[in-house]
Structure 1
Amino acid sequence: MNVSFFFAVFLLFTDLGLPRPTIYLIPRKIIHKGITVNFSCVAMSPIQGFYLYKDGHKLKDLPVELHKTNATFSIPNVNCSHGGKYSCSYTLSYPFMSESSNEVELFVVESTFPRPTISPSPIMLVPPGGNATIQCESKKSSMRFYLQKSGDEMPQQFLETNGTVAKFHIMNANKSHTGEYSCRYSTKSGPFIVSKMSNLTRLAITDPHLPKPSISLIPNKIVMLTDRMRIECTANRSGNRFYLYKGIDKKQLQIVITDGDSVIFPINNLHKEDAGSFSCSYMNQSEFFTASETSDNVTLLVTDLSLPKPNISSENIMFVALESNISINCGWANLNGKYFLQKDDHVMSHHILEANETTFVIGNATLAHGGKYACSYSNTSQPFVISSRSKYVTIQITDPTLPKPGISLSPSGMTRLGSNINILCRAHDLNNTFHLNSTFYLYKIYNIENTGDEKDHRPQIMQPDNHTAEFSVSIVKEEQGGKYHCSYKPPSGPLMSEPSDSLTIFIVDPKLDRPTISMSGNTMTGENVTISCTVSRVKINFYLHKNGNPIPGLAMKTNFDMGQFSIINISLEHSGNYTCSYTVGDNLFVYSSPSEILQLLVSEEPDYTMANIIHCVIGALILLLLGCLMTLDFYSTNVYEVNPQQCSKEESMGGPTLSPALDADPDPAPPTNQE
């Protein structure tokens, strides 16, 4: 009987009421090549013969003995061509046949296919009624993925795909879904030619009635590469099997069975790959598919000393009033990752910033927020490997209801290197009520990035008998220059006062060469003047002082060994006495002695008084000189003679007439007496 005739007969006699047979596959439905497989076909009553079909096509028929209700078809030395769907039918009397049996699928394993992987592995914890996703991945493009539960002959689910990944979803999970799962895949060319089985993953249902475990890191702080770390998991019951998980997908790392109520998971010689987020759970030793809920997550951050330190808020201490906000800035150039805020070497889990943010804000500050803060960062490529921490900034919580103290320096003014000074801090309120027996604190404020060892900058503490604390500094050194604040804590409360105004100590180093000051330009109003300061040094900063004020006020533009300060559009207010000084290098609180005084006199109109005086004096001197010359010339060159022709006439008139005689004898003889 050919196949077409068989189908025709089958269609004609499907309503004969013959019971459908049942087919079984022995030994299993997924086999390796070379194995013999048996198909058993079973009918309800004695029949004459059985027929075996593959994918709807008859393969062989098998007559049976009378009164027999089953038959076995064998396929020895199975190969890939034998994979497919099989069914059977039977006949009571030719040509009448039963309907085909149920179908069984024969999958043949091709050992040359790469083994797929399943995740999460090796365990999934799902709450009752929750959803689970099992992912299967192959290394080659696939057509169909199969999900199989241990104990089931046939895969529970399959997914068609052209890619390398398939995700199987289990909805509204319950105890019937618990068990171990694996997956396989087949290619487009042969849907019944499958890969080897993947690794196993176990699906367990969590029991909300079991106490939730707790997890902690020992030591509970950020650790360095190659350090040792222990992770402790604790349950409120004994005799458990504990599981340690890592990451969001709860990748199982370790299992420890104990008769106690806690276990330690050790991690020795930490590497970058060991950092991450951890949690734990437990099961009763007799259970494998019912577990406790997982603990809260704990994050293990590993410090990589090769990463540069970030920058933090510029000053070493911040005074923050109670119930106000704390703002801490952290930054690093071109960061693509996250910032972490640390308090006393512990990362604050709720204070993590993305790279586009740089300010940590802690609202409604309490006394507990006081302490030492630092920050670090991680890159996106390794989110749990962080940089070394920044310098510390100290947050001091203050009581805004306490009066602000006053601070002063004795002696005042600039301090000579090697001298002795006192810094006075005084506390009283508006009613002049002194806060006796208070503890006073003197803080030096400095730029964090310009300082070295942080432990050298702890506050000085005093508890005087009166309202004033006197902090003495003997033999002043260069490093003691800078900005200071003071505050106090009354004996009646845990909070200290807000800080005083700042006091800056400027130090004069007499060993530094004294600079020279000079001026160029026009001192008339509206004109420009440039004051220059010079000294034979390099890497210096020049400052200009006015009218004897020792505190540097005006920074001069420095060019090697010269500083210049230009006054544009000069006015009368610029008149005064000027000096200059300088600092060397980055020490901005140690100055040279000031230069000589330069007097700047600004006038509104041109002043001709001096020029007029000079001109008058010169004119008078010239006139006097001319007069003297004329007088000398007159007396030295003119002589008078008596003309004899006129003598008698003159005598008769009463006297001689004098006339100059150019040729007269210069030494005439004296006259003689005649009768």
Structure 2
Amino acid sequence: MASALTVLLLKLPAPRPSISVSPSGVITLGGAVTIRCQCRCEARRLFLYKSGIKIRELDAAGDRGEFTIPSARQADGGVYTCQSRSRSEPPDWSDPSDIVQIIVVELSYPKPSISLSPSGGVGLGGAVTVRCRGRHQNMRFLLYKDGNPNALQVAEPAGDLAEFPIRNVSWRDAGSYSCYHHDKVYPFTWSHPSDPVELVVAAAAPPGRPDFTCTNITRLVLSAVILLVLGLILAEAYYSCPRGAPRPPPTLYFYCTNPQSFLLPCPPNLPTPGDGSDNGASKCPLMEGSADEVASVSGASGETAKPGGFSG
């Protein structure tokens, strides 16, 4: 069982290496360039290919190997790949890496200008156009993205303006872009690179669900203002009312049949019993105080008094 598992593992292909170039993009004639191959390269050997032909090899140092061109010539331009192989026998080859292109040119034309339309960022799934403008007519323009040594798009406009559309924008489209142009007849004479322009990708609202952020903020502000005004009105009403002023004591009125029996006689201007004006009852301001105090007074006189009613 163990031997069968070992044979099965030996037949699995090794992961293919990745490849990159530093500096990326266009290499100036006579400049230095490094081709880096990176993989799970323990005890493996790396091979560098140009246009499918093996040109160099070396033992990997750790998880990578580097191939350096100290002074680039135009003949060094081309398409490169790398591949790894085990040092032990039988050899175990990995799949080839992706391709990387090296362009060695002489930079003589002035740099073009670059811009985005629309500017200020684009939402996911949207569209944006990169515009490059040179100083000469009938030039070939190339668009590059930082970190990618290969040209993303090539355009040959009739005038001096090239447009590179990017549709259905995704997160991977975000980054820094630059462009070059060169003469169609002399392809090794290029312009200097343009200044970089940054493409910012923002999350877009889901379809059918518009973004109500601004509307909600406006509503919250208006609600806060209304609450503030109401609070000020209530505070003004509260502080405008006098507080702590004593209330006048109420006068207790009682109906009695014999006002002379109470301790305090009725005032002379009020009707008294027997004159027929109140059917035998008189309204007397007996005393200021509680109902208990009044009851105690009326009880002492032998009469019954009820506040707000008639006593018989």
TM-score, L = length of structure 1: 0.29
The match for 2:233 among 591, 594, 600 is 591
Report the CA distance between 1:120 and its aligned residue: 4.2
Once the two structures are superposed, the pairs formed by residues 598-617 of structure 1 within 5 Å of their partners are: 598=243
Contact preservation (8 Å) 2:79, 2:102: yes
**Does structure 1 residue 226 correspond to structure 2 residue 163?**
no
Specify whether residues 214 and 182 from structure 1 end up closer, same or farther in structure 2 by C-alpha distance, changes over 3 A only.
same
Measured against aligned partners, the alpha-carbon deviations of 1:453-475 in whole angstroms (never above 9, x if no partner) come to 79x9xxxxxxxxxxxxxxxxxxx
Residue 228 of structure 1 aligns with an amino acid whose one-letter code is A
Measured against aligned partners, the alpha-carbon deviations of 1:267-307 in whole angstroms (never above 9, x if no partner) come to 1222222222211122333455553322111111122156x
Report the CA distance between 1:211 and its aligned residue: 1.9
Contact preservation (8 Å) 2:47, 2:54: no
Residue 598 of structure 1 aligns with an amino acid whose one-letter code is R
Once the two structures are superposed, the pairs formed by residues 10-25 of structure 1 within 5 Å of their partners are: none
Larger radius of gyration: 1
Residue 219 of structure 1 aligns with an amino acid whose one-letter code is P
**Does structure 1 residue 236 correspond to structure 2 residue 129?**
no
Could you list the runs of 5+ residues in structure 1 that have no partner in the other structure? 1-109, 307-387, 392-449, 457-477, 482-583, 601-675
Contact preservation (8 Å) 1:205, 1:291: no
Residue 27 of structure 2 aligns with an amino acid whose one-letter code is V
**Does structure 1 residue 263 correspond to structure 2 residue 162?**
yes
State percent identity of aligned pairs: 30
SS of the aligned residue for 1:226 comes to coil
Partner Cα distance (1:125, 1:114) in 2: 29
Specify the alignment match of 1:204 in structure 2.
Answer: 103
Once the two structures are superposed, the pairs formed by residues 508-547 of structure 1 within 5 Å of their partners are: none
Once the two structures are superposed, the pairs formed by residues 396-435 of structure 1 within 5 Å of their partners are: none
Contact preservation (8 Å) 1:111, 1:196: no
**Does structure 1 residue 275 correspond to structure 2 residue 41?**
no
The match for 1:167 among 66, 79, 89 is 66
Report the CA distance between 1:452 and its aligned residue: 0.8
Specify whether residues 586 and 130 from structure 1 end up closer, same or farther in structure 2 by C-alpha distance, changes over 3 A only.
farther
Partner Cα distance (2:76, 2:124) in 1: 42
Contact preservation (8 Å) 2:100, 2:149: no
Measured against aligned partners, the alpha-carbon deviations of 1:174-218 in whole angstroms (never above 9, x if no partner) come to 435333322222212159875554443222234331121221101
Contact preservation (8 Å) 1:204, 1:288: no
Measured against aligned partners, the alpha-carbon deviations of 1:134-188 in whole angstroms (never above 9, x if no partner) come to 222346645221223349x6523x3322544323233343435333322222212
TM-score, L = length of structure 2: 0.57
Specify whether residues 225 and 181 from structure 1 end up closer, same or farther in structure 2 by C-alpha distance, changes over 3 A only.
closer
Report the CA distance between 1:244 and its aligned residue: 1.6
Report the CA distance between 1:234 and its aligned residue: 1.7
Greater helix proportion: 2
SS of the aligned residue for 2:218 comes to coil
Specify whether residues 588 and 207 from structure 1 end up closer, same or farther in structure 2 by C-alpha distance, changes over 3 A only.
farther
Specify whether residues 196 and 238 from structure 1 end up closer, same or farther in structure 2 by C-alpha distance, changes over 3 A only.
farther
Specify whether residues 588 and 279 from structure 1 end up closer, same or farther in structure 2 by C-alpha distance, changes over 3 A only.
farther
Specify the alignment match of 2:50 in structure 1.
Answer: 149
Could you list the runs of 5+ residues in structure 2 that have no partner in the other structure? 1-10, 206-210, 246-312
Contact preservation (8 Å) 2:143, 2:178: yes
Partner Cα distance (2:68, 2:90) in 1: 22
Greater strand proportion: 1
Aligned residues: 226
Greater RCO (CA < 8 Å, at least 6 residues apart): 2
Contact preservation (8 Å) 1:204, 1:291: no
- Kindly report the root-mean-square deviation, in angstroms, between the aligned alpha carbons of the 2 structures: 4.2
**Does structure 1 residue 301 correspond to structure 2 residue 200?**
yes
Specify the alignment match of 1:92 in structure 2.
Answer: none
Specify the alignment match of 2:79 in structure 1.
Answer: 180
